Amino acid sequence: MTTTRTRLGRGGRLVIPVEIRESMGVAEGDELILDFKEGELKVLSRRLAVKRAQALVKKFVPAGRDLVSELISERRDEAARD
């Protein structure tokens, strides 16, 4: 874990040092997820947030089950009925 110091700028802007941005794999204009809980602010890249959500869902999906194929099949069936 990296700990560094920065200052809050004009308009509440927070500058993330280049080393941390590079480590996170983010660049200017990228969407970030802010998680504020109990006085602590966590900044996540969108990619990491999606990866964590996928890992959480994966715990509840039985091995060998393909949810994407199931969803596509359901949508095709619905479209055929319309």
pLDDT in tens, 20-69: 999 999 999 999 999 999 999 999 999 999 999 999 998 999 889 998 99
Q: What global pTM score does this model have?
A: 0.63
Has residue 73 got a pLDDT over 80? Answer: yes
Has residue 2 got a pLDDT over 90? Answer: no
pLDDT at 21: 93
Report how far residue 15's alpha carbon sits from residue 8's, in angstroms, rounded to the nearest whole number. Answer: 7
DSSP string, 28-72: TT--EEEEEETTEEEEEEHHHHHHHHHHHHHTTSPTT--HHHHHH
pLDDT at 50: 93
* Backbone torsions φ then ψ of 72, nearest 5 degrees: -60, -45
pLDDT at 1: 66
